[in-house]
Amino acid sequence: MKLEQVNLEETECFSSIFIDYIQQKEALKPFYDTFPTVPNFQSLIEKRQLPMSHRTTLVSLLAEQYGPLPHSEAVEFNIHSLTNQKTFTVTTGHQLNIFTGPLYFIYKIVTVINACKQLKAAYPDYHFVPVYWMATEDHDLAEINHFNLFGKKYEWDTPQTGPVGKMKPHSLNELIDSLPEAVPLFEKAYLDHDRLADAVRFYVNELFGDQGLIVVDADHKNLKHLFAPVIKKELFENTSNELVNATSQRLDAAGYKNQAFSREINFFYMENGLRERIVREGEQFKVLNTDKVFSESEMIELIEKHPEHFSPNVIMRPLYQEVILPNLAYVGGPAEIAYWLQLKDFFDHHEVFFPALMPRVFGLIVNKANEKKVQKLKLSGKQLFQSAHKLKEMYLQKHGENGYELNDERKVMNMVFNRIKSKAEEIDGSLTGFIGAEGAKTFKTLENIAKRLKKAEEQNNETAMSQIDNIKEKLFPGNGLQERHDNFLNFYLNNPGFIPELLEKFDAFSYRFHILHDV
């Protein structure tokens, strides 16, 4: 595949806060510490410290989670390397979308893997481990229960509730049977494992284990115990809400919309298929939509003895991640970068290292069939992001034979009516209004003629117009980005070398849109 890159701002697909972050605008610099360039990682390495007790707890947990899973020497080495103070992680996180969900999940993981390779080349005295943080505690089934393959939406219908990582995936067998082709990878993942978290770890390890990718499920008592001091402070002091809201107001004043919203308590209570918000009412803590009520002393005892019952929300999860991982950078999409920018003061308050916020790779795959059409129409990568309407107009202006816009005729007509107006002013000034109205009618007639001519030109170039519509439909399904709609199986089933090609072509530190042309 041939790689073409386009500046993100030229695609007109991203928010102003994200583009301004990429361009390192001064207005956003107070909201983060270090922009992720390879040279800037020197200072990150020097500043990043993680207690050895946290490292050993993490390694012990990973050894337990990977125990029954066949895994590569690269994975084994990376797990045990985490006890070394010279080992650091680059992390991305994502929900447990069935069959990997949209393409950008794959792009996130490719980004952290390639970032670690580039950092190792630049800093050979240190070791860098790519990490995928599974959002096993998330309970929004509707966000993960579907994917799009070959133009069809497949959906998992299950009555299960609570944290998705604990859900049983076996009922996915009906969906597997309905696929147009057999996919043994996912059959084994979903039918041979009792929890969705274990199934996802299995197939991610199958796809990326040879690259040393580590999959972390942080839903564990021992890891939550490391986070217990923060849990206690959050429930009894509510400092995060005040700090995050203050930062959010500053971002808002600078003209940026907030992506995430803090609450007085940013934890859920989690137990036996239940994940509900914790609220405080007077001297009691209540779990919404349940009859669970705790006194202050009971809550302190629960935190100390059973921290696994406390599940961080979108505000608290990033802090939890940085408490248990020797992380240098977090790789995320535009929305993730935006809400991380709301958290720096919150991190500083807890004296937790704030990682570099690293945009993931953005990608567009142009297969052979579409590439032929793109070449025939002579469209550049930047032009692919324009609307079908603009592309058609551009094509007709360049290839139309008769100049349907009538620009020259408009100029001539304008000169004629200006002369008539001049004569009228000499004879009878009251006629100028009448002449102006007649001129407006004439220009309206010209506009209607131009529309008819344009339609005729479109008919004369019907094949090209149809190809433009087809290209836009295939590359931007539903007028959205391909990477947010299509599943990787759209490409992987026909090309088993798809992921190695991504690993070869995607540059983790090039914050531009990567277009891969199958030539």
What string of DSSP letters covers 3-44? EEEEEHHHHT-S-HHHHHHHTT-GGGGGG-S----TTTHHHH
Give the CA dihedral 411, 412, 417, 423, nearest 10 degrees: 130
pLDDT in tens, 91-119: 999 999 999 999 999 999 999 999 999 99
DSSP states of 313-365: -TTTHHHHHHHHS-EEEEEE-HHHHHHHTT-HHHHHHTT----EEEEPPEEEE
Q: Say how many C-beta atoms besides its own lie within 10 A of residue 252's C-beta.
A: 11
Q: Say how many C-beta atoms besides its own lie within 10 A of residue 35's C-beta.
A: 15
| Confidence label for 390 from pLDDT (cuts 50, 70 and 90) | very high
pLDDT for position 428: 76
pLDDT for position 76: 97
pLDDT for position 369: 92
pLDDT in tens, 49-58: 999 999 999 9
**Largest interatomic CA distance in the chain:** 100
Between CA 51 and CA 167 the distance in angstroms is 33
Residue 382's Cβ-count burial label (10 Å; 0-12, 13-18, 19+) is middle
Between CA 269 and CA 292 the distance in angstroms is 10
Query: Is 227 in contact with 323 (CB distance < 8 Å)?
Result: yes
Query: Is 424 in contact with 432 (CB distance < 8 Å)?
Result: yes
Please name the residue that has the structure tokens 């983060």.
Answer: 32
Judge: domain 32-227+313-359, CATH 3.40.50: yes
pTM of the model: 0.89
Structure tokens at 198: 């274990």
Query: Is 366 in contact with 375 (CB distance < 8 Å)?
Result: no
pLDDT for position 426: 74
Whether the predicted pLDDT of 454 surpasses 70: no
State mean pLDDT over 107-135. Answer: 98
| Confidence label for 436 from pLDDT (cuts 50, 70 and 90) | confident
pLDDT for position 20: 98
Whether the predicted pLDDT of 419 surpasses 90: no
pLDDT in tens, 159-173: 999 999 999 999 999
State mean pLDDT over 50-71. Answer: 96
Cβ contacts of 483 within 8 Å, gap of 6 or more:
102, 103, 104, 107, 362, 363, 364
| Confidence label for 459 from pLDDT (cuts 50, 70 and 90) | low
| Mean per-residue pLDDT over the chain, rounded | 93
pLDDT in tens, 270-290: 998 899 999 999 999 999 999
- Report the Cα 509 to chain-centroid distance in Å: 16
Overall residue count recorded for the chain in this entry: 519
pLDDT for position 491: 95
> Looking at 269-273, 323-327, 387-391, 442-446, which range is the least confident one?
442-446
| Confidence label for 448 from pLDDT (cuts 50, 70 and 90) | confident
| Confidence label for 396 from pLDDT (cuts 50, 70 and 90) | confident
> Looking at 276-280, 299-303, 388-392, which range is the least confident one?
388-392
In the chain, ranges of CATH 3.40.50 domains: 32-227+313-359
Strand partners, 4: 515
Query: Is 114 in contact with 100 (CB distance < 8 Å)?
Result: no
Between CA 70 and CA 40 the distance in angstroms is 36
Whether the predicted pLDDT of 142 surpasses 60: yes
Q: Which of 311, 238, 215 is nearest to 271 (CA)?
A: 311
Whether the predicted pLDDT of 457 surpasses 70: no
**Residue percentage of the chain with pLDDT more than 90:** 83
